[in-house]
Each structure stands twice: as structure tokens, then as C-alpha cells.
Amino acid sequence: MCQVEEEYSGPLEKTSLPTVSKKCMKCKESTAVLIIRVGDAFCRDCFREYFVHKFRAMLGKNRVIFPGEKVLLAVSGGPASSSMLTQVQEGLSRDAPKKLRFAPGIIYIDEGGACDQNAEEREKTLSQMEAIFRKTGFPYHIVSLEQVFSLPNSVLEPVSCGPERPGSSYKAAVDQYLQQKEVNQRQGQLATEEAQDAVAHLSVQASQVSPEHKQALEKLFSSLKTLTARQDMLQTLRQHLILHTARLNGYSKVMMGDSCTRLAIRLLSNISLGRGASLAVDTGFSDPRYGDVVIVRPMRDYSSKEIAFYNRLFGVRSLFISGLGTKTSNKASIQQLTESFVIKLQADFPSTVSTIYRTSEKLHTACPPQTSGAVAADKCLLCLCAVCNKAGKSQHQHYHFYYKHFVDAASASHASLISERLSRGELGMEAKIDPASCCPSGTLDPFSCQREGQGCGEGGSCTAARAPAPADLKSLLCYSCRLTVEDMAAEDTLPPYITSEAEKRWNSMSRLRANPAAPFTRAESQNNRIDTEAHTWAPRCRDKGR
Amino acid sequence: MITSCSQGSIMAVPIAIHLEFGGGAELLFDGVKDHHVTLPSQSEPWDMKQLLVWIRGNLLKERPELFVQGDSVRPGILVLINDADWELMGELEYQLQDQDNVVFISTLHGG
């Protein structure tokens, strides 16, 4: 692969450069101004039409946004999200029957604290962004990253998703909305709506950042040793802030401005980071993992070239804000490396990004039944992706005798914990423990005690008889989040909502461990039965079932 | 002495070019997005390849590898000549004319 340029430069030589201006492939009249994809030349007007149409088509094809719904637009100031904002504005303003019909709000997260920006730069950026937002007329929320230190635990609590809205009801919902609107107009209710909007504008400013939070954020990011971990942590915290703001203000959908190029890069870097299990939701059109708030990505069909051209040709204002990866070398982090790899490959093989994109479209999760209610142990504490923690179908009857531990002996994540301890030479100690004296339940199953990841293994003593051990955060995380946390010099720099939610979950697991005979709550036992069907993508778990 | 040439008559006159940098590329140029420059006159017409060499030598303040790679721009940086894709104009072989507008937009770390 590294030799691509040398080997293939011959056959890939571009055909003779156009001496006569190329004509637009669509209208065949005007001169083309840009080439997108592999060789499609568009003139200015046809390109605009194509761009605008694609946005509507994306929303129309995936009928997840219902009329009148409150949608939060996550704008970072960069080209893709600014373009998305413009498209939403344009779509809402049209008088055609096909106009978009939802109630947008904007969220902007000031990440200057993590990226070492000084106060002056942050102020300047904020005021520029505010000016842009005010022009749109939508309610906006400016949140600083430091506010993660005042988030409540409830952000991480899994929520079961709202009632399923089947596709057929979409048309009905649209009709109903249109009828209602007519009635409202006649009764002059438009005025009150506008007044409400105006009020919404007033109270959305984030309060001044407190110096303790600022310091805490700096400590958090400086305790992460690698840029990879820092970028991953930033992404996680950003998602939590957006989620919290959406919930607080009643938004049921969040629109992210991820472009096709960015998602292709994310797909590959997520695989490298160990997030293979959640690829479909991380790069797909909709991400339902949070339950009540659904993340959608309407820009996922646009390459970054199309977006940059559109912004330039049609005057979309965007800011460049330095991030964690700015001006770093190609190899500074996994994400950077993947970006430079994909972009470089794209330069020589223009169908790279679209191929990756098409592949990602084929990924689907075997969706766990949402109606079963969320079990906390099933989701990673940080990224809230589903974690393979349960064994197979045949296990469930024996579950409460042997496998009351949240990390099941036969699951994939348990296996990785074992191999980790093995390589550190810690497992030898556990083998010497007398299983009978160790486990409070008196079960003599050596499998459950010796192989057990956290409870009995830690320090070689059983936690049941003593005060509960401090929460082992890593055991509550998926593989990838665990790697990020392992990169931290000090786990206590994490924001309080993470550490206290970890304590809570750990304690409830300890309770289970201490009381093996205690019957599950009805919800938990129902979940066990249903969830064993869920992890169809990890056949290894099932096969090991006994 | 009149030399007949197929390129036209603008050969020995300095060329005024308007350069713009966006999408983060301006960071490498002290944060300045707009540059009005005059390219010194030379016997052959200026082309994009030479322009890049000139930019690297005269305007670029730091980290040249983040802007140019080999003969061309780093992958991920879009080039527009008079608001049109440079791929349609011949990329590196395009010959610059007086008052041309060349825009470099970086699409890396996009938002």
C-alpha cells in the first residue's frame, strides 16, 4: 500500500487536460465549475440544486424526523455543520409543500478548555458563533466543555426508547400536522409561537465557566497520556453534553454534521480503537443507543469536497477552530493517522471514501429489543454501546447460581480481562484461593471463582465479607473505553457524574454478588431472558454456553 | 525582437495574484487569510507548480509538510482557481494569468 504511488502512477496518469472548458454533465449547457465523485462535472446552479436536493432526500428517505418535532442541531462551527445549518434554514423557509417541518435548536460546545485556547480566543470565537446563530433566528445553547463537571448521573443511566413509530404513521403524522397548522393560522396562534421563540432565545447562554471546573478539565486532559485517548475522551464528553442538553430542553432528535469523508475516517479509526461492535450506530444515519434521544446524521452523503465547494460558492460562513489534532503530525494519534491514510488514498483513488461509505451502509445491528427496558449492566458506562456481557441462551437458567457477576465467565469482555491479567502474571494468585471459602454462596464451581474477573480476584480476597471494594471502573466499560481510561494517569480526574454512576453500578453488582440467592427483581429476570437473544453478533459467547 | 509564441503576450510582466487560505490552512500563514501578491516576471509563464514553490519559499511560515507534498498540495487541500475546481483547469499545469484568484481550502479536521 505504501508503494501505491510508485507502482501505479503509470496507468493512473490523468488523461489529457481539458483544453476546452468542460460542460456540466447535467444541463450540458453551462461551464462546469467543479468535479465531484469520480468524474462528474457540475455547473454552479446544477450543483446547488444537487446539494440541496440531497439533504431533503436524505431526510425524506429515512423518515425518522416527524413534523413539529424538536431537533437539536449540533454545530461545531466547522464547514459541515455550518452547511447543515444553512440547509435546515433553507429547508424550513420554503413555501413548497415539501418543506421541512421541525423545530430546530442549535447547540455549540466550546471546547477551548481542552484544546489549550486562551480566554481571549475563546471569547472571540464565541462572539462570532453567536452572531451566526442569532441570524438564524433559532434558539441556541452555548455550552462549555467545563460543564461536564456539573452533569448529573442521569446522563449515563440507560433509558428505554420511546414508542416505536412505524413508517406508515409518518404520512398520517404529516397530514395531521398540516391540518393543525391551518387551524392554528386561522386562530392567529402564530403570534404566540413567535413570542415563545423569542423567550427561548433569552435564557440559553451558558453561565461563566468557574475556575475550579476549568482546572478540573485541564487536569483531566493532562492525565490522559496519548492524543488518541484525549480525542476519544473529548468525543465521549461532547456526546454526553449534547445528550444532556437535548434531554433538558425537550429535544428528541439531534442532528450531527458528520460528512461522508469524516464518517469513513471514523469507521476505520473506530475499528482500530476497538469499537467494532458499535460501528453501525457510530456511522449510520441514526443512532438510537441513548433511547429517548436519537442522533441522526443528514450530512453523511456529502463528501468534504462538496461541502467546502458549496460553502465557498454560496457564502456559507464557517469558522476554523483549532482542535486537539490541529498542526500535529500525521502519526500523532490513531484518528490522525487514519485521516491522513484515507485522504491520501482518496487523492489517488477517488472512490475510496464512497466505497467505505457504501460498506458502512451495509452494517446493521441485530437490534436488541428496546422494549425490554435497559439493563445498566448491558451498556458501557461511557459510550453507552451494548457490551457483550451475557453468555448464551442455555446459560440463563444457571445464571443466578454461577453467573451472578456482571462480567460473565464466558463472555468476550471477560475473556479479554483474563488475558490481560494473564499477561501481567496475576492469575496465578487466584488459583491458590480455596473456592469454597472464597465465594459466599458456597458454590464449589471452580469456574466461577477462579476465572472471575474483578470481585474475588482483586487482592485475592473476597469482597463479600468486607466493605465493598472501590468501584473498578474498567470492568464497567467496553473494550475501547477501557483502553482510554487505562491511558489515564489518575482515574479520579474524571468528572463526578462518571465516578458516582460507576460507584452506583458497582454497588448494585456487589449486592448481587453478596446475595446470590436473592431473587432478581422482575425486570432484571425478564431482561435476562430476552437479552440472551440480543447478542447475535458474538457467536463465541453462545458457543461456550454449557 | 518579436518572438512568436503560442501562449499569448503576457510573458515578461509581473503577475498580480489574489491568494486566499481557508479551512485551517491560514494557520500556516500567520492566520492571514487574504494575500495579494505579485509574482516576479520571468520568461516562462507562471504555472501552478511554480506558484506552489513560490508560496513555500515566500509565504509559508511553518510546517511546510502540512501544505505541500512533493510537487502538489497535501491531499485534503482543495484548490479553486477563479472559483472553479482546479481539476477542470489542468491542476498543476494551469498557467496563471493576471488578477487570478487562487483559493486553498483545507478539508482536514473539518467540522
Least confident among A254-258, A278-282, A342-346, A406-410: A406-410
Q: Which chain A residues are Cβ-neighbours of B91 within 8 angstroms?
A: 14, 17
Q: Which of A231, A320, A331, A346 to mutate to test the interface with B (most CBs of B within 10 A)?
A: A320
Question: Is a pLDDT exceeding 50 seen at residue A387?
Answer: yes
- The beta strand positions in A112-258, using DSSP E, are 140-144, 253-256
Q: Which chain B residues are Cβ-neighbours of A115 within 8 angstroms?
A: none
Q: Is the CB of A326 inside 8 Å of chain B's CB atoms?
A: yes
Asked if B27's CB is within 8 angstroms of A80's CB, the reply is: no
**Nearest-CA neighbor of A104 among A140, A147, A79, A158?**
A140
Q: Which chain A residues are Cβ-neighbours of B90 within 8 angstroms?
A: 17-18
Q: Scanning every residue of chain A, which has its alpha carbon at the shortest distance from the alpha carbon of B69?
A: A344
Asked if A327's CB is within 8 angstroms of B63's CB, the reply is: yes
Higher pLDDT, A150 or A406: A150
Torsion over CA: A461, A467, A473, A479 (sign): positive
Q: CA of A21 to nearest chain B CA: how many angstroms apart? A: 7
Give pLDDT, residue A278. 87
Question: Is a pLDDT exceeding 70 seen at residue A73?
Answer: yes
Q: CA of B45 to nearest chain A CA: how many angstroms apart? A: 17
Question: Is a pLDDT exceeding 50 seen at residue A385?
Answer: yes
Q: Scanning every residue of chain B, which has its alpha carbon at the shortest distance from the alpha carbon of A34?
A: B85
Asked if B66's CB is within 8 angstroms of A327's CB, the reply is: yes
For range A264-271, the mean pLDDT: 93
Q: Is the CB of A522 inside 8 Å of chain B's CB atoms?
A: no
Q: How many Cα neighbours within 13 Å face the side chain of A511?
A: 10
Asked if A322's CB is within 8 angstroms of B110's CB, the reply is: no
Instruction: Convert the pLDDT of each residue in A133-149 to its tens digit.
Output: 999 999 999 999 999 99
Give pLDDT, residue A501. 87
Q: Scanning every residue of chain B, which has its alpha carbon at the shortest distance from the alpha carbon of A321?
A: B24
DSSP conformational letter for A205: P
Q: CA of B4 to nearest chain A CA: how many angstroms apart? A: 21
Provide the β-strand partners of residue A40: A36
Higher pLDDT, A99 or A212: A212
Give pLDDT, residue A373. 46
Out of B75, B85, B105, name the one closest to residue A344 (CB): B75
Asked if A323's CB is within 8 angstroms of B26's CB, the reply is: no
Give pLDDT, residue A418. 73
Those residues of chain B whose CB sits closer than 8 Å to some CB in chain A are 22-24, 26-27, 63, 66, 75-76, 78, 80, 83-85, 87-88, 90-91, 93, 103, 105, 107-111
**% of chain A surpassing 90 pLDDT:** 27
Asked if A308's CB is within 8 angstroms of B105's CB, the reply is: yes
Q: Is the CB of A238 inside 8 Å of chain B's CB atoms?
A: no
Give pLDDT, residue B52. 93
Q: Which chain B residues are Cβ-neighbours of A325 within 8 angstroms?
A: 109
Higher pLDDT, A545 or A479: A479
Q: Which chain B residues are Cβ-neighbours of A34 within 8 angstroms?
A: 84-85, 87-88
Residue A187's pLDDT band, with cuts at 50, 70 and 90, is low
Least confident among A68-82, A349-363, A392-406, A455-469: A392-406
Q: Are the beta carbons of A358 and A267 closer than 8 angstroms?
A: no
Give pLDDT, residue A441. 43
Name every residue whose Cβ is closer than 8 Å to that of residue A454 and which is 6 or more positions away in sequence: A405, A407, A417, A472, A475
What does the alpha-carbon distance between residue A80 and residue A307 come to, in Å, rounded to a whole number? 6
Q: Which chain B residues are Cβ-neighbours of A312 within 8 angstroms?
A: 22, 80, 83, 103, 105
Cell readout for A272 is 482500530
Asked if B78's CB is within 8 angstroms of A261's CB, the reply is: no
Counting Cβ atoms within 10 Å, is residue B14 exposed (0-12), middle (13-18) or buried (19+)? Answer: middle
Higher pLDDT, B96 or A385: B96
Instruction: Convert the pLDDT of each residue in A491-534 to its tens digit.
Output: 888 888 888 888 888 888 788 777 765 555 554 544 444 444 44
What does the alpha-carbon distance between residue A541 and residue A536 come to, in Å, rounded to a whole number? 9
Higher pLDDT, A183 or A284: A284
Question: Is a pLDDT exceeding 80 seen at residue A362?
Answer: yes
Q: Which chain B residues are Cβ-neighbours of A340 within 8 angstroms?
A: 75-76
What does the alpha-carbon distance between residue A109 and residue B85 come to, in Å, rounded to a whole number? 33
Give pLDDT, residue B90. 86
Q: Which chain B residues are Cβ-neighbours of A25 within 8 angstroms?
A: none
Give pLDDT, residue A413. 64
CB atoms under 10 Å from CB of A120, counted, come to 8
Q: Are the beta carbons of A503 and A471 closer than 8 angstroms?
A: yes
Least confident among A174-178, A460-464, B14-18, B66-70: A460-464
Residues 30-89 on A with a CB inside 8 Å of B are 31-35, 41, 76-82
Question: Is a pLDDT exceeding 50 seen at residue A467?
Answer: no
Least confident among A40-49, A230-239, A355-364: A355-364
Give pLDDT, residue A460. 41
Long-range residue pairs from B88-94, CB within 8 A, at least 24 positions apart, any chain: B88/A18, B88/A21, B88/A22, B88/A32, B88/A33, B88/A34, B88/A35, B88/A41, B90/A17, B90/A18, B90/B48, B91/A14, B91/A17, B91/B48, B92/B47, B92/B48, B92/B49, B92/B52, B93/A17, B93/B47, B93/B48, B93/B49, B94/B47, B94/B48
CB atoms under 10 Å from CB of B4, counted, come to 4
Q: Scanning every residue of chain B, which has its alpha carbon at the shortest distance from the alpha carbon of A299?
A: B111
Asked if A18's CB is within 8 angstroms of B88's CB, the reply is: yes
Q: Are the beta carbons of A68 and A170 closer than 8 angstroms?
A: no
Q: Scanning every residue of chain B, which has its alpha carbon at the shortest distance from the alpha carbon of A335?
A: B109
Q: Scanning every residue of chain B, which has its alpha carbon at the shortest distance from the alpha carbon of A36?
A: B85
Question: Is a pLDDT exceeding 90 seen at residue A453?
Answer: no
Residue A109, Ramachandran bin (φ over 0: left; ψ between -120 and 50: alpha; else beta): beta
Give pLDDT, residue A379. 82
Strand A103-110 to strand A286-287: parallel, antiparallel, or no bridges (unpaired)? unpaired
Give pLDDT, residue A51. 93
Instruction: Convert the pLDDT of each residue in B34-81 to its tens digit.
Output: 999 999 888 888 989 999 999 999 998 888 888 999 889 999 999 999
Name every residue whose Cβ is closer than 8 Å to that of residue A257 and which is 6 or more positions away in sequence: A73, A74, A75, A76, A78, A80, A81, A82, A83, A84, A85, A297, A299, B111
Strand A103-110 to strand A70-74: parallel, antiparallel, or no bridges (unpaired)? parallel
Q: Which chain B residues are Cβ-neighbours of A33 within 8 angstroms?
A: 83-85, 88
**Stated pTM of the model:** 0.77
Instruction: Convert the pLDDT of each residue in A189-240 to its tens digit.
Output: 555 555 555 444 443 454 567 888 889 999 999 999 999 999 999 999 999 9
Q: CA of B17 to nearest chain A CA: how many angstroms apart? A: 18
Out of A22, A304, A344, name the one closest to residue B88 (CB): A22
Strand B77-81 to strand B100-106: parallel, antiparallel, or no bridges (unpaired)? antiparallel
Q: Scanning every residue of chain B, which has its alpha carbon at the shortest distance from the alpha carbon of A348?
A: B75
3-state DSSP of A48-85: HHHHHHHHHHHHHHCCCCCCCCEEEEECCCCHHHHHHH
Q: Scanning every residue of chain B, which has its alpha carbon at the shortest distance from the alpha carbon of A21?
A: B88
State which of A275-279, A301-305, A458-462 shows the largest mean pLDDT.
A301-305
On average, the pLDDT of chain A sits at 75
Torsion over CA: A426, A432, A434, A435 (sign): positive
**Nearest-CA neighbor of A545 among A446, A397, A445, A442?**
A397
Question: Is a pLDDT exceeding 70 seen at residue A422?
Answer: yes
Give pLDDT, residue A405. 44
